[in-house]
Structure 1
Amino acid sequence: MRKYWKFITIIVVIMLSIGTFYVKSATSEENHPEFVIEKQSGDAKEIEPLKLVGYYSDTSSMNYTITDLKISSEGSTYERRSFLDQIIGEPPTVIKEYQENYRTFMRGKGLNINSFFENDQFLAYADVDYTTDSFHSHDFKFPISILNKKDGSVQSFTVDIPDSENTDYAFMEDVQMIEDELYLITNNMIRNPEGSFDEKHLYTIDLANQTIRNDETFSQIPEGQEGNRIVAQVIRTSPTEAYDHMILLQKEIKVIHDSESYREELVKQEVISYNLATKEKESISVSDLPFNSELSFFDGSSVYFIGLEGQEIVVTPYHLADSQAGEEYRLQRSGEDGDGYGPKPMTTIKNGKLYISFPELNPKLNINAADVFVADVKTGDILFKGQITLDDSEAKNQYELYLHEMLVE
């Protein structure tokens, strides 16, 4: 009987702890400040589809808590995480919407947004699965599921990843679907007697026969020369849009060690446009890009390089159709001149509009407002300019606000 009392005592303590957690959360929620997007120019209707997702921290006391919030044209709303979500983390907003709208299909699916593809008819999922023991990883497979949203039918199967004997690790970078074929883009970490390196693979999945029709290594990332390193990334696109091109950015970076620190210097970079259907590659010259410019987004027809020069955001488009760079345009930030460093802006493009938001407010760092832009992506004409500000003059200035997602509905 004594052991049962111990068990009951443990359960009671856990329930009281959870209850205390929710009481404290509910109490603290009443004190959360209101953040707004304050208009400076343009039409406020332009930010009605915009949602910014992040977290707020009150740093005024030892009770350091983090609360999720969303900021929109209507102000800020706070979301209290469940006790379980506090432990395991919360999925991206798009994944949460999939879980709500396609509950049965989403059971057992991972939370990597790059593993999903969606269009009007299908929601597709593919991931990398493998077994790891004390010696190495093996039995690499693709678990694949396709939901037909019109009739509710699901096609699920698993295929072995070919020639993976020397693969240490692999992860999914993008999933695309063109007609009856699925394209899986992965980063594979290879180890052999000559050394280790990364490879970008494109796997073509024949959905009718549930087989891998083609496996192509379109980028192999060798070890850099002494003091240098090479990195490659697939450029971000919208997870709910279909694209027949993939954009890869590869950089060689020189690491320079000083007496008390080190810095990185860009040696060269190459941008590759890859047509998924035709397998054609095109190299894009990026040698004349503005200082501190980075490849930021691909909207299916153009890639956009976005950088900071002082208090200006510099946008340089490159159009795939005619293989030419477009005319750059500049968006003027608020505040005093700076050196262009600090948190990089979040960007996305939808319906011909470029959305830009800076991710951080922190009074301790003298960051008391964050710019928000909506611009015509082709001309750079500003449709809306505003700032995220704290709409409470009596609120304490000991807080941190950090935004990590930008959604346009």
Structure 2
Amino acid sequence: MGKYWKLLTILVVIVLSVGTFYITTAIAGNSSPDFKFKLEKGDIKDIQNLKLVGDYLHGMNGEGVAITSDDTVYSSELSYFSQLNNSFYTEPAIQQLQKDYRGFMRGKTWHTATISQDEEQVVYANVKGNDFTNKVKEFEIELLNKKTNNKTTFTVDIPHHEKYNYVNVENVNLIDGKVKLVTLNYLSNQDQTQDEIHLFQIDLKKQKVIEDKVIYSNTVQKQQNSSLYRVESGNTTSFNDYTVFMKDTFKEMKDEYGNYYEEIGKSELIAVNMQTGKVTTFTPPPEFDLVEDSSTFAVSGSKLYFLQADGKGYEVLEYDLEKAALTKKPITQLPESDSAPVMRRQVKAENNKLYIVIQVQSQKAPADVYVIDLKKQQTIVEGKLVSEKVTNDAGNYELYINDFYVNE
């Protein structure tokens, strides 16, 4: 009889916990503002695939928020189990795969960098046992045939894995029956070379690595530091023509009081052609104001796009990665934001369109949103994110847009 009382007690605790969760959610949701897109140019259908994700802070309380053209959803409004699964922050491309291939996607990472697909198959590739306390040794590969629903799983040794503390998969592509991986490898014994960019080819039939090519070594001089990171190219599981990295080098300086600080020295862009494996390294043109805007890049096909403030507003510059040349004039001009200070600028490319979100410090219109048709080189959407249904209780709040996604 005792065990039944224990089970009953556990059940009551679960019911009360979940019940309290939903009551608290209902109370909290009443005072939270709704956000809508107010367009000054264009059609709302052109941003129906846009999803902004961030943090909403009100007093001492904070929670996640997702904003689309249809709805504003707070993390507290999600089901108990959705919150446990972290589905709120999952990229739309991954959510679609989870919906279509639930069994295959179970337990997979939520980031598109490790997944690629074509019409026939889906491939997942990541590092097994990837942390700083357990030496990396193997790639874990899983392949799903969409027609038969058959799954193939295997591991392959990472060549010279003993050299690395950490290996991060930056991009996965399916090409001609092979998986191409671009990885960022952090060396165990750092001297002047701190990390390396690798291009791996894995034969799916033979289930083995057939190429491991070091395409860039991040080497710095003494008394220098550097950061090497991938330029954002959207949240897609489709084929990427290029994978682009930025390297920033910092010099160690000393002020008049003897205090040390770092000053950015120079920057390099490293572009990897995923079809041919050709690597192009170039110094960004002076038109790119990297000190202020180092994160406002997007890659579409063989073009690199950069959002540049010009004193009147913003201009979008285009760099041809194949020709290694900057287009002579901006492809479009965007108007200046309102008088509120700019907090962050984010740019992503998808479906031959460039999506731009410029966040400002304003509660009435916390962000400007633009969509540019890259083929026509025209701005097709100009709009603002505005708050609606703000009660007195929710009047003083802060909204931080951490990221945004575009559905494929």
TM range (shorter): 0.7 to 0.9
Tell me the TM-score normalised to structure 2 length: 0.85
Give the superposition deviation at 1:305: 2.0
Matched position secondary structure for 1:192: coil
Contact 1:373 1:386 (8 Å CA) reproduced: yes
The Cα of 1:392 is off from its aligned counterpart by 2.9
Q: Secondary structure of the equivalent of 1:20?
A: helix
Instruction: Answer yes or no: is the 8 Å Cα contact 2:227–2:248 preserved in 1.
Output: yes
| Cα-to-partner distance string for 1:323-342 (whole Å, 9 max, x where unaligned) | 3211224312321285xx63
Partner of 1:214: 211
- 1:145 is matched with 142
Amino acid at match of 2:314: I
1:257–1:310 distance in 2 versus 1, CA, 3 Å? farther
How far does residue 315 in structure 1 lie from its aligned partner after superposition?
1.8
Query: Could you tell me whether the CA contact under 8 Å between 1:362 and 1:401 is conserved in 2?
Result: no
Asked if 1:233 corresponds to 2:234, the answer is no
Q: What is the identity, as a one-letter code, of the residue corresponding to 2:388?
A: D
1:274 CA displacement = 2.2
- Distance change >3 Å, CA 103–CA 10, structure 1 → 2: closer
State how far apart, in whole Å, the 1-side matches of 2:198 and 2:152 are: 24
Q: Which residue of 1 aligns with 2:307?
A: 306
The question of whether the paired residues in 2 share the 8 Å contact of 1:69 and 1:76 is answered with yes
Which deviates more from structure 2 when the two are superposed, residues 252-261 or residues 267-276?
252-261
CA-to-aligned-CA distance 1:244-272 (integer Å, 9 cap, x gap): 43222222123556669986533111112
Provide the C-alpha distance between the structure 2 equivalents of 1:247 and 1:390, rounded to a whole number of angstroms: 36
Structure 1 SS opposite 2:39: strand
Q: 1:319, CA displacement in angstroms?
A: 1.4
SS in 2 for 1:315: strand
SS where residue 317 of structure 1 aligns?
strand
Q: CA RMSD in A?
A: 3.1
**Alignment match of 1:391 (pick from 379, 388, 391):** 388
What letter corresponds to residue 123 of structure 2 in structure 1?
A
**Take 1:264 and 1:97, find their aligned partners in 2: how far apart are those partners?**
43
- Contact 1:299-1:349 within 8 A present in 2 as well: yes
Q: Classify 1:264/1:71 alpha carbon distance in 2 versus 1 (closer, same or farther; 3 Å).
A: farther
Q: Which residue of 2 aligns with 1:95?
A: 94
How far the C-alpha of 1:165 sits from its partner, in A, is 1.3
Asked if structure 1 preserves the Cα contact closer than 8 Å seen for 2:35 and 2:72, the reply is yes
1:376 maps to a residue whose letter is D
Deviation at 1:191, TM superposition (A): 1.4
Q: Which runs of 5+ in 1 are unaligned?
A: none
Q: 1:201 aligns with which of 198, 203, 206?
A: 198
Residues of 1 paired with 2:148 and 2:162: CA distance?
A: 39
Task: Return the offset for 1:199.
Answer: 1.6
Q: Summarize deviations over 1:282-321 as a string: whole Å, max 9, x none.
A: 2334142232343611112201122334562232111134
TM-score normalised per structure 1: 0.85
Return the offset for 1:77.
4.2
In the TM superposition, residue 242 of structure 1 has moved relative to its aligned partner by 0.8
Contact 1:115 1:127 (C-alpha < 8 Å) held by counterparts: yes
Which AA in structure 1 matches 2:299?
F
SS of equivalent to 2:119:
coil
Tell me which of 326, 329, 334 is aligned to 1:331. 334
Shift of 1:209: 0.8
Amino acid at match of 1:389: V
Change (3 A) 1:143 1:18: same
Is the partner of 1:17 in helix, strand or coil?
helix
Taking the aligned partners of 1:253 and 1:139, their CA distance within structure 2 comes to 29
CA pair 199-41 structure 1, distance change in 2 beyond 3 A: same
Q: Which residue of 1 aligns with 2:317?
A: 316
Q: Which one-letter code corresponds to 2:225 in the other structure?
A: R
CA distance in structure 1 between the aligned counterparts of 2:93 and 2:307, rounded to whole angstroms? 24
Number of the residue aligned with 2:15: 15
Q: Is the 8 A contact 2:230 2:243 kept in 1?
A: yes
Report the counterpart of residue 282 of structure 1 in structure 2: 280
Offset, 1:138: 3.1
Residue by residue over 1:153-181, the C-alpha shift from the partner in whole angstroms, topping out at 9 and shown as x without a partner, is: 32221111111112212121110121111
Amino acid at match of 2:343: G
Moved more, 350-359 or 394-403: 394-403
In structure 2, what residue type is equivalent to 1:89?
Answer: N
Residues 106 and 382 of structure 1: CA distance in aligned 2, closer, same or farther (over 3 Å): same
Residue 407 of structure 1: aligned partner: 406
Checking the alignment, whether the CA contact within 8 Å between 2:127 and 2:168 is kept in structure 1 is yes
**1:43-54 paired onto structure 2 within 5 Å:** 43-54=43-54
Question: Secondary structure in 2 aligned to 1:342?
Answer: strand
| Alignment equivalent of 2:244, drawn from 242, 247, 250 | 247
Counterpart AA for 1:197? Q
**Code of the aligned partner of 2:321:** L
* Inter-CA distance 50–192: structure 2 relative to 1 (3 Å threshold): closer
Would the alpha carbon gap of residues 39 and 49 (structure 1) be closer, same or farther in structure 2, given more than 3 Å must change?
same
Partner of 2:117: 118
CA 312–360 in structure 1, closer or farther in 2 if over 3 Å, else same: closer
Task: Give me the whole-angstrom Cα distance separating, in 2, the residues matched to 1:256 and 1:11.
Answer: 62
CA spacing shift, 1:407–1:171, aligned 2, 3 Å = same
In the TM superposition, residue 106 of structure 1 has moved relative to its aligned partner by: 1.0
Kept in 1: contact 2:366–2:399 (CA 8 A)? no
- Residue equivalent to 2:127: 128
Query: 2:31 — aligned with what?
Result: 31
Shift in Å, 1:388: 0.3
Q: Secondary structure in 2 aligned to 1:225?
A: coil
Query: Once the 2 structures are TM-superposed, how far is the Cα of residue 14 of structure 1 from its aligned partner?
Result: 4.4
- Partner secondary structure for residue 358 of structure 1: strand
SS in 2 for 1:31: coil
In structure 2, relative to structure 1, the CA distance for the partners of 1:14 and 1:43 (3 Å cut) is: closer
Greater Cα offset, 300-309 or 41-50? 41-50
Deviation string, structure 1 residues 324-367 (Cα, Å, up to 9, x no partner): 211224312321285xx632x2222233321111356664xxx7
Return closer, same or farther for 1:166/1:195 CA change in 2, 3 Å cut-off: farther
Structure 2 segments unaligned to the other structure (5+ residues): none
In 1, Cα distance between equivalents of 2:2 and 2:152: 53
- In structure 2, the partner of 1:184 is 181
Alpha-carbon distance between aligned partners in 2 of 1:86 and 1:178, rounded to the nearest angstrom: 36
User: Is 1:139–1:160's contact at 8 Å kept on the other side of the alignment?
Assistant: no
